[in-house]
Structure formats: structure tokens, C-alpha cells
A and B are shown apart, each in its own frame.
Chain A
């Protein structure tokens, strides 16, 4: 599903250059939930950005679902995000003026789903993340955990094949974080999705199929 090959990413140049990723290669099988762990500044976020097409590596290739992400132009990347990859941000990434249901509906509107189908699916997704009753609430009126669950529901709405989550529980207390992690675990299984999740929290790691350790921009075998 995901094939990262010999990827390099360096920020800056000269003596101040930071080698965020050095010769990283990684393969993730379909349906696999991979946890990226490592110390702060080790390069987790950089790797996720490169995999998701939000950043370009200096060298190396990335394939997602058979598409060479590193060779895509802007339009190709837009299509990739719309159809293949979904992101869950540490800061939830919801649109503040939209209600929970409307936020979840955005990817569906992007696909031009009929209104009735859209509303039905939004309701289903919200119920899936346990927020059926909060559909009309705006992000500002919800707790962090609820917001992150809405963000997951929204990420799922487009039926992506790859879910990329960067410290989805970073802003949540451990109990809520665990619940969100469990949710991701559950949807990966129920929807047959592939997921790469970065996290600091070793407790969350337990839920992953596989754990990849990152240190100083390199993958290290545990």
C-alpha cells in the first residue's frame, strides 16, 4: 500500500542544514496500522508529510496505492488527497464556522453526493465516532476529544485507503487519547483501511499492528 524508498529530506543548507530524513525506506501493507514513534524532532512529522504528498523529499520515491506520489503534480496531489489519503491533525483541523455534521460533510460535497445520501452518511459516521447527538455543534462548542473524533469521522467520510494521523492524541488526556486511538484501530479494521499514526505515547503503540521507530531521521529496528 505504501512504499517509501530511500527518501532524504534536508531543511536549510550549509552548516545549518537539518537532515530531517536520511535514506528512509518503509513499506506498509494494506490494512496495516503502523505506529511511528520517536523522540521529538526525530522526523516523524516530516515522514508523514512526505508520504501524504504534503511535502516533497529531496531524493527517493514514495508510492501510495500504486501511485508515485513524488512524481505527482499539484492536480495529482489534489486528487490523491481527495480519493486516497486522509489526514488527521494533532490540532484537529476542523473548519470553525461549520458544525460537526457540516465538517464531516465536506469530503462528501467534494464528491457531489446527493443531499439525502450525504446526510445519511454523515449521520452514520457521527454515530460511528459516538457523536450522533452533537451533529449541530460547532468545533468551538466541543471538547478536544470530541473535535478529534469529528476529525476522524471527516477523514473517514471520503473512504480513503490510507489514513495519516500526526499525533492525533497529542492534545488529549491519556484516557480520551486512548479512546481516539481505539476508534482509529476499530475503523481500520472495519473499513479495511491502512493507517500510519505518529505518537509519543507508548501506551497507544500497543494498539498498532507494527511499530516503526524513528531516530535522527532514520528508521531504527526495535
Chain B
């Protein structure tokens, strides 16, 4: 044994350089593996922690909502708290409650209308609101009135302050007795806290019109919440509307197992909660955003994990190839020794044992080196700017999984070294006929290519990754594809060799011919070439894939947002919101409608998807507004050309003077029995519609000023610039008793509506008057309108004939517009929707928007819906849609959000909008950053950088090993050439030329393989966040500059390896071997 070891050590010393190179290859391979393992374990943990750190607290909460609160509210809350803390298991959680009372009668307001108020008890009050005057309510339990604080807005409107006592009645829907509250202070809610979304008024403190009553048919002004001590409110017998128990778990340092347990616990809580509340007679519901967040995290980590595995496999395949090459060279140098040992009686087992011992020693050494190197590399990679920004940087991590993976990898790789020793001992080192093309001749490459093709077909047939498990297909495809392509590409080598052979025969000179002969006749070039092809392919593929992936994320972000920035419109939206958005953002701003639509198809057949989305934007500026990439570089304006975008509607400018809008109504009809409520449909500079509604006025021949209020019950501020694009006159009976229900005769009505405002805009549109589409026939006839435009004002003289008897049953509407009613709304259907309902361009389709139905027409197909890519939906022009809805008499606000593109400084857009009172903006840049560089996502680019670096490293190490070994074995031959009078320079040139040509061809072949794999595989491997097929479909990218630099770098790197080795060799060969009498 000792002897054996001594022999091993001696042999090792003699071949120190080659062994060092082999060690380098094993270490490189295992470092890739180890780094991948760290990415999959420590990296994934850090990514999850970072992601959860960045997640808004609301998405990490779990909450129980208890409706129909039982008498023992405290008990119900305790039970719910128990269920939540049980569900969260090992995660410590802070539990807070939000209890609100039923809305109760609360005296009458100045105009004599009854008004409403309600109470709320909130945990950690000081964190959720700012105390403006007075103090926070004391925890009262004793006698005396309940203490409470009023929202500042309510206090102002009610004209009360600290010291006042407010009494809430035991009202219709509020059982129990009246409650008296002593106001001890006023507060302003922190509206940025999403908790306020639970409030009935969203923290506004006051609304002019709260839907009220059993059927929510009447509206009343309402104030609240009057915040009282939470415990005191829960102790109130009855009168609670809703109690929410919210748990905010502390996730710092939570392990994956803890989180899985919590997710499972929350799932179980859905059944546990009703059990805990049995006998309480309450309705309850668990809402766990935390569970959804955790599920999403798991999906995304699975998707990223697949990619990391892909890279680990490609890295291992590369290391295996490099090692196979080294092993062959090592064996080649040892054949003589093996032959000698065999001659001395050593059995094959003995030889294999010797090789195994050596491999074992190498494996141990490689593990010892690779573990710290992996930890360092992982740290280095995660400290690069993008991952660092994602927050995945951390201290050096040496973990058991790392050690195990590295050790396993080292053993597997060094086993490659033992394998040749198990084969028969080759006799002699004489170079016989070239063995070139052994792989090609055996057909292994064709077999491999066949398997790869099958995998590829499978991948094409089932694109996307499965959400939960790692997809073996997705993981195996690139390795198989790259290997097959690389091996197949080697078929080019024999052609090249034949060419070289022919060229050498015809050549006159020596240097080129020598290089050509060596290229043509050295068999071991194949192994080195395979390594180079594979490494170059892996590096270029990784670079291309990284670009394809990144580009796709940016493209997905653009599609998901639809524009540079979208921000939800507040409900109700103030008149000037569009102007405010435009002022904050600049660029192209469009109102957008985003809501569900129900499709009734008039002529189409097929099954309708369960939910269909309607997106309508200003398509007259489609190219400036919509940002997502269309296939084949298509333009949005071309796609939306058929949507009939008319741009802004024509109308009469309305400039609100300091005294408020000056509008008057004069009219006659049925001797004053009729009344009219004028509604102006106005449009802001962005083309967004809203309405200004006046009170009902008698048509009694006198001129009445009209007080106009917007949807938020406010009168437009002075200086507001609007365009009146429609007028809706709602005719009703002021005194139904004065009408004979049997009288069928219509009576003439005339209304003069005078607007202080400039003349109608330059389009000089003709205004028409008509009842809305679908109103009862005979109710209103012979409608007409004449417009008189003065310098200062415009008068609409409207006439018609209305049936007073009909008005007993329903209101009559007379609609004035400056546009003709659109025949149908042209829409683009998403491709999948069109296929599902078998719709073709020109088909009629009905669009159910809210309560109204408007006729539509299929104008074409869009690959995806802006703002909701991948969902079945309908794209329309917002102006056409508005006109169509107005034509039906539906004047409800249509603006759900504002879309803007070309905005100044998109990075800060969301913040600026929030400062301007428009929270919740989504920016394309923000979504792209999250998709591309978010903690759960950045692992993919990182691992591709790793693959690129590893491929380059292995290519260079492999080339160095190969060149050194090959040239050393040829030093005698090199000396002989010099002995024949071939100058040293020429010999060196021949050697360099030989290697340079093989290297360049291999690198170029590798680049071609990488490019083909990038084109074919990369789009298939690019999956969405949830593992699905991305929308828009990923487009293969080939970043020429980076790829060129990479290929040039590889060529230069190989040259940097070959040239000095060749130089040294030629010099040394001359001094060592250029002698007569040296045995060679």
C-alpha cells in the first residue's frame, strides 16, 4: 500500500502540470455546480426574504371578516384571533382588529335632510391616523359617555369640535339603543395605509350621498367613522356591522418550512373558522393575501429554479466534456506506463484501482478547493449591481447542501478519469490511420439529434413550465439540444479535414501544409473541438437567452401595463382629474375604460369565455399611447385603424367663470306640470367624459339659473375648461295628479338652455336631438334642436312632443349631441376569444357594459389586450364607446383609469401621482424592473452569467490542457523539423496555424450552434412569471455586439493559450531533442 502511494505520488509529480489542469477542470465544473446549488438554496431563501420584505404589508396579512356580528363580539374576535394565530403556526404575528358599527341616523342637516354617521374601533389608532386637535379616546369601561374622535372633514362640515356630544340614533338598520359619544378630538387618516380601504368611506370622513336603505335606493349624507376605543365598541351590545381581525405575521428569518406550514394552516383555517365560531351565528370569511403571496413566490421560484438547473446541467456537461478530453490525454501519456505495468503482471483491476485512488485524491482536493470558491463566486455574483439592487446579497455561505453537491460532483467528474483505465490497454503510441469521425461514423450524434428533436417537439407542443414542480422537459431540453447540435456540428470537421488534406497536397510551401496535415490527421482534435463547440455554444446561447428573456420581460411589462403609466381613476373622479394627470405626467394621456364586458353574439357561434375584459382607450393616438410590442413589428395605429377613432367629440366650450357656471333654463310644457333636469355631458382636454347635473326645474316660462354639480357633488371650480359635447334633458312630471292617465295626446315642450361660453368649436357640428336608444316609443316625439351661438353664450332651443301619460310610468330623456349616433362599436377581439366564439371581421356582436347593451361589430383581431395580455378581451376606442353608451342614455362615468405614455421621468411618475392624490399608479418601467430584476427573477440572469463565465473558463482551460499535452507529445517531431533546417519561427507558425484553424472553426461552429439554439430554444424556455407562455410571445434575440465580443474573446483567449505554449514548446524542443543520438 505504501509502495502504491509512493508510486502514485511520484507519478503525480511527473505529470504535475497535466494533473493540475485536470484538477482545474474538475474544480471549474464543481464550482458551477456548487454555485447553482447555492443559488437554489441560499439564494432562493434570500430572494424570498427580499421579495417578502418588499411586499406591501397588506399582501402579507391574513384576515378574518365577521359579518352579522354576534352579541358576544369580543368572544368572536378572540375565536378568530385563535384561528389566525394557529394557522400561522410558527410565525409570530401581531393581531389587530377593525370594528365598525352599523350606519345610524344622526340628526338632520342644514337642508333638513336626515344624515348618517357610524362608529369604528381600530387597533393601534395613532399609527393609522394623525390627531389634529384634542386627544385620543380613553379606554373607557366605566360610566359616562363613550369618547370618540371625529374625522377633521366631518368636524368641519358639522361645525363641532372637542367637547361636543353627538348622539347616534338607534336607527332602522341599527338595533340597540342610541349611543352618545363625547368628542375628544379630531383626526386625519393616513390614507396611504391600505387599512383605510376597509372603511365605508375609504377614510374620506364624509360623503354627500351614501347609498342607504334596505335596497340602497336612497342616498344620504354620511359622516364617519367616529373612532372610539376598540374594546369599548366590541363591548357594545349589538350594533356592529363588521369586525375584521387582521394578523400581520413577522416574516423575518422565516424558513421555507415555516412559510409552507403557514400556507397550509391558512388553507385549513377556512374550515377551522366556522367551527370556532359555532353557536355565534355569525357569517365569517378568511381572506389570506399571505397565502396568495406565498403561492406566487413558490411558483416563481420554481420557474427560476428550473433555469438554474438547466445551467447546472449544461455546466456539468461542459465539465464532463473537458474532463473526458483531459482523461484521454492523461491516458494517452500513460499507455506506455500501463503497458509496462501490465507486462510486469499488474492486472486490469490493479490498474483501475490505481486510477480510482488517484481520482479519489483528486476529488478530495477538488472539493476542498471548490467549496470556498463556490461560496466566493456566489457572493461575487450576488454582489453585482442587479442582484444587489434586488437585495439578494449576503455574507459568505458555506452550507451542507453546497458541500454535498460539490463532493458529489467532484466524485462524478473524477470518475470520468477512471473510466479509460477500465478499457483495454492500447498498444504503442504509434499514430495509425486517423480515428477521425468515430463519433460521426457510429451515428451517436444522429441518435442524440433525434432525441433532441423529440424533446423540442414536445416542448413546442406543451410550451410553458408547470407551475409547481420543476419541469424535467424544460430542464433537459437545452442540454440535449446543445449537446446534439455540438456533436452534429462536428460532422463539419471531417469536411474541413478533407479540404485541408487536398490543400496541403497542392500547396508548394511547408508551413501551411504542415498545419493542414496536422489538422487533417490528428484524431484528438475532435475531443478538443467538441469542448470548444459546446463551450462556445453554451456561452453564446446563455448570452442570447439572457437577452431574449430580458427583452421578453420588458415586453411583457409593456403589455401588462399597456402604456408607460396607468393610474386608477378615483371614484367618483373629479372633473379635473385628467388635467391633473396630464399636468403631473405630460406626454400623451388618455382616459381608459377597463372593466368586464358580457358578450352576446348576434351571429357568432361557439362558447364564450367566462370573463371577458373590455379595454377602451383613445385609439386616435394609438402609436403614441400603446407601448406593447406587436408581432413582426406591427404598429398599433394599423391594428386599431378599424376602430373608428373619431378623436375628440365636437362641442361647445364651457369656461367656468368665478361665479360658477352660468347656465339657465327657460321652458314651457303642459302648463308648468312638467319639470326638466338638465345634465351636461362634458369632456376635458384628455377627451374624458363626465357629467354636470342640475336640479329639477319647472318648465313654467320663467328663466331659472341652473346649479351644476359633478359626480362628487361639487360645483366646478372657476377656470375649469370643459367642452359640452352632449346635453341630456330629463323630463318628468312635477305633479302627477294633474295628468289624466288615459289622455294619449302628446303636448309640445320647448326648452331653452343657455350656456355662457364661446361659440361651438370650429367643426361647426350640427346638433341633433333624440330620445335615447331603446326608450319607449311614443314617449317623446318630433324632437329637434336649434343652436344659436353668440359671442358670449350659446343657446340650445329644444323642442319636442312628450306624452304626459307616459311620464307617469317613466321619465323621458331628450338627448342632444353634436355627433350622429354610432351604428355599432367596432372592436378588436383577442385572438383566442375570436377563435372561441368563431367570430370573423364584420360579425355583429353585442357588448354588455354595466347595465347597458350596445351593438358592436368585429373589426379584427388583436394578438393580446393592452393592460390585460393573455386574457380574453375586447379592445375598442373610448370615444366611440362613450358615444355608443351616451346614445343609449347611459351617462355614467366611463373612465376607470388614466393611461399615459411619453411621460417625463417615468421612474418617479408613481410617486408624483400619489403626491397629487392619485395613488396606485403602475409604471411600465416599474413592472419591467420587477419582472427582470426582482428578487425572485434576478436568479435567471445571474445563473446565465455564471454559465457564460464557466463556459469561457472551461473552454480556455480545456484548450490549454489539450494544447499543452498535444504539443508535448510532439516535441520530438518539432525538433526533427528544426533539424531539417525549418526555421524555429516557421515551426511555431505551423503549430499555431494548426491550432488556430481548428480553434476558430470550432468557436465559429459553436457560435452557430449557440445562435440556432438561441433562436429555437430560448423563446420556448422563456416563460412568464407564473410559468405560462408569455404574452406577447418572446422573440429570440441575438445581441450582436455582446456575442461578437464573446466570440472574439474566446478566439483571443485561445490564441493567448496557444501562442505562448507553442513558442515555449518549439524553443524547448530544440534544446532538449535536437541532438543526434537521443532516443525518440
Check if B981 sits within 8 Å of A112, measured CB to CB.
Answer: no
- Contact residues of B between 501 and 533, Cβ < 8 Å to A: 506-510, 513, 517-518, 521-522
Q: With A96-B973, A106-B510 as given contacts, are A82 and B980 in contact (CB-CB < 8 Å)?
A: yes
User: A113 CA to B507 CA in the complex, in Å?
Assistant: 10
Q: Which residues of A have CB within 8 Å of B984?
A: 74, 78
Which residue of the partner chain, among A55, A106, A112, A114, contacts B977 with CB atoms under 8 Å? A106
Indicate whether A220 reaches chain B with its CB closer than 8 angstroms. no
A45, A102, A141: the one within 8 Å of B1076 (CB) = A45
List which B37-51 residues lie within 8 A (CB) of chain A.
none
Contact B506 A97 (CB under 8 A): no
Interface of B is mostly: loop
Q: Is the CB of B508 within 8 A of A114?
A: yes
Within 8 A of A (CB), among B323-347: none
Residue B638, interface by CB 8 Å: no
Binary CB contact string for chain A from 114 to 127 against chain B (1 if under 8 A, 0 otherwise)? 11001000000000
Contact call B431/A140, Cβ cutoff below 8 A: yes
B contact residues around A95 at 8 Å (CB):
973, 976-977
- The yes or no answer to B738 lying at the interface (CB within 8 A) is no
B1075: interface (CB < 8 Å) = yes
Q: Is A110 engaged at the interface, CB distance under 8 Å to the other chain?
A: yes
Chain A residues in 8 Å Cβ range of B254: none
Contact A96 B430 (CB under 8 A): yes
B420 sits at the interface (CB 8 A): no
Report whether B1080 and A97 are in contact in the complex, using a CB–CB cutoff of 8 Å: no
B962-1002: CB near A (< 8 Å → 1, else 0) gives 00000000000100111111111000000000000000000
Instruction: Produce 1/0 per residue, A78-96, CB < 8 A to B.
Output: 1111110011011101111
Number of interface residues of A (CB under 8 A): 43
With a CB–CB cut-off of 8 A, which chain A residues contact B976? 89, 93-95
A97 touches B979 (CB 8 A): no
**For the complex, what is the distance from the CA of A83 to the CA of B1074, rounded to whole Å?**
17
In the complex, what distance in Å separates the CA atom of A107 from the CA atom of B976?
Answer: 12
In whole Å, how far is A100's beta carbon from the nearest beta carbon of chain B?
A: 14
- Given contacts A54-B1074, A109-B509, whether A81 and B981 have CB atoms under 8 Å apart is yes
A3 at the binding interface (Cβ < 8 Å): no
How many Å lie between the Cα of A167 and that of B430 in the bound state? 22
Q: Is the CB of B981 within 8 A of A110?
A: yes
Interface: B214 (CB within 8 A): no
Please indicate which of the listed interface residues A94, A95, A102, A138 has the most CB atoms of chain B within 10 Å of its own CB.
A95
Among candidates A48, A75, A81, A97, residue contacting B980 with C-beta atoms closer than 8 Å = A81
Give chain A residues whose Cβ lies under 8 Å from the Cβ of B983.
Answer: 75, 78
Q: Contacts of A134 on B, CB cut-off 8 Å?
A: none
Q: A74-B984, A97-B431, A109-B510 are in contact. Are A49 and B1075 (CB under 8 A)?
A: yes
The reply to whether B431 and A54 form a contact with Cβ atoms under 8 Å apart is no
Interface residues of A in 126-143 (CB under 8 A from B): 138, 140-141
Q: Are the CB atoms of A49 and B981 closer together than 8 Å?
A: no
B113 at the interface (CB under 8 A from A): no
CA distance A94 to B973 in the complex (A): 8
When distances are taken between beta carbons in the complex, the residues of chain B under 8 Å from A217 are none
Among B1074, B1076, B1079, which residue has its beta carbon within 8 angstroms of that of A48?
B1076
CB within 8 Å for A54 and B513 given contacts A78-B984, A93-B979, A140-B430 = no
Q: How far is the CB of B568 from chain A (nearest CB, A)?
A: 76
- Tell me if B981 and A54 are in contact (CB < 8 A): no
> Is A166 in contact with chain B by the CB < 8 A criterion?
yes
Distance between Cα atoms of A154 and B1080 in the complex (Å): 18
Are the C-beta atoms of A97 and B509 separated by less than 8 Å?
Answer: no
Residue of B nearest to A46 (CB): B1077
* Docked-complex contact B1077 and A49, CB < 8 angstroms: yes
A127 CB → nearest B CB, Å: 20
User: Nearest chain A CB to B521's CB is how many angstroms away?
Assistant: 4
Q: Which of B433, B521, B977, B981 has the largest count of A CB atoms less than 10 A from its CB?
A: B981
- If A95-B976, A96-B430, A110-B510 touch, whether A166 touches B981 (CB-CB below 8 Å) is no
Q: Which residues of A contact B2 (CB under 8 A)?
A: none
A1 at the interface (CB under 8 A from B): no
Nearest B-chain residue to A83, judged by Cβ? B981
Minimum CB distance partner of A98 in chain B? B517
- Given known A97-B522, A112-B509, A140-B432, contact A106–B980 (CB-CB < 8 A): yes
Interface assignment of A52: CB less than 8 Å from any CB of chain B: yes
B624 smallest CB distance to A (angstroms):
68
Q: A109-B510, A110-B510, A115-B506 are in contact. Are A87 and B979 (CB under 8 A)?
A: yes
Q: Name the interface residues of B984-1030: CB closer than 8 Å to any CB of A.
A: 984
**B980 to nearest A CB, angstroms?**
6
What B residues does A82 contact at CB under 8 A? 980-982
* Interface status of A57 (Cβ within 8 A of chain B): no
Of residues 151 to 167 in A, which have CB atoms within 8 Å of B's CB atoms?
154, 158, 164, 166-167
Residue of B nearest to A139 (CB): B430
Interface pair A54/B521, CB less than 8 Å apart: no
Is the beta-carbon distance between A55 and B509 smaller than 8 angstroms?
A: no
* B518: chain A residues within 8 A (beta carbon): 97
For B506, the chain A residues whose CB sits under 8 A away are 115
Known contacts A97-B522, A98-B517, A109-B513; is-contact A115 B508 (Cβ 8 Å): yes
B1079: chain A residues within 8 A (beta carbon)? 90-91
Q: Bound state CA distance, A65 and B1076, in angstroms?
A: 20
**Residue interface bits A39-56, CB-to-B below 8 A is 1, else 0:** 000000100110010110
A111 to chain B, nearest CB (A): 9
Given contacts A52-B1076, A89-B1076, A166-B1077, contact A110 B980 (CB under 8 A): yes
Question: Of all chain A residues, which has the CB nearest B512?
Answer: A109
C-alpha spacing A80/B980, complex, angstroms:
10
**Which residue from B507, B517, B981 sits with its C-beta under 8 Å from A158?**
B981
Q: Which residue of A lies closest to B1077 (CB)?
A: A45
Q: Find chain A residues with CB under 8 A from B979 CB.
A: 54, 81, 87, 89, 93
- Decide: B1076 and A78 in contact? CB cutoff 8 A: no
* Contacting residues, chain A, for B982 (C-beta < 8 A): 78, 82, 106, 110
Question: Please, what's the 1-or-0 string for B168-183, where 1 marks a CB less than 8 Å from any CB in chain A?
Answer: 0000000000000000
Provide the residues of chain B in CB contact with A78, threshold 8 Å: 978, 981-984
Min CB distance, B14 to chain A, in Å?
Answer: 23
Report whether A55 and B1075 are in contact in the complex, using a CB–CB cutoff of 8 Å.
Answer: yes
Q: Name the interface residues of B1045-1080: CB closer than 8 Å to any CB of A.
A: 1074-1077, 1079-1080
Which A residues touch B1075, using CB under 8 A? Answer: 45, 49, 54-55
Q: Which chain B positions have C-beta within 8 A of A81?
A: 978-981
Q: Mark B635-668, 1 if CB is under 8 A from A, else 0.
A: 0000000000000000000000000000000000
A55 to B1076, CA, bound (A): 10
Interchain CA distance A107-B977 in the complex, whole Å: 9
Interface residues as binary, A166-184 with B (CB distance below 8 Å gives 1, 0 otherwise): 1100000000000000000
Task: List the A side residues contacting B509 at CB < 8 Å.
Answer: 109, 112
Contact A166:B973 (CB < 8 A) given known A78-B983, A81-B980: no
Which one of B508, B518, B1080 has the highest number of Cβ atoms from chain A below 10 Å of its Cβ? B508
Contacts of A112 in B (CB 8 A): 508-509
> What distance in Å separates the Cβ of A158 from its nearest Cβ neighbour in chain B?
7
Closest to A81 in B: B981
Measured between alpha carbons, how far is A43 from B508 in the docked complex, in Å?
40
B335 to chain A, nearest CB (A): 15
Assembly CA distance A140 to B433 (angstroms): 9
In the complex, what residue of chain B is closest to A113 when comparing beta carbons? B508
9 further A-B contacts with Cβ under 8 Å, apart from A45-B1076, A54-B979, are A74-B984, A78-B982, A89-B1080, A93-B1080, A98-B517, A106-B510, A109-B507, A113-B508, A118-B508
Shortest 8 CB-CB contacts between residues of A and residues of B:
A82-B981, A45-B1077, A81-B981, A166-B1076, A109-B510, A140-B430, A97-B521, A93-B976
10 A-B pairs, CB-CB below 8 angstroms?
A: A55-B1075, A78-B984, A93-B976, A95-B976, A96-B973, A98-B517, A109-B509, A112-B508, A158-B980, A166-B1077
Chain A interfacial positions (CB closer than 8 Å to B) = 45, 48-49, 52, 54-55, 74-75, 78-83, 86-87, 89-91, 93-98, 102, 106-107, 109-110, 112-115, 118, 138, 140-141, 154, 158, 164, 166-167
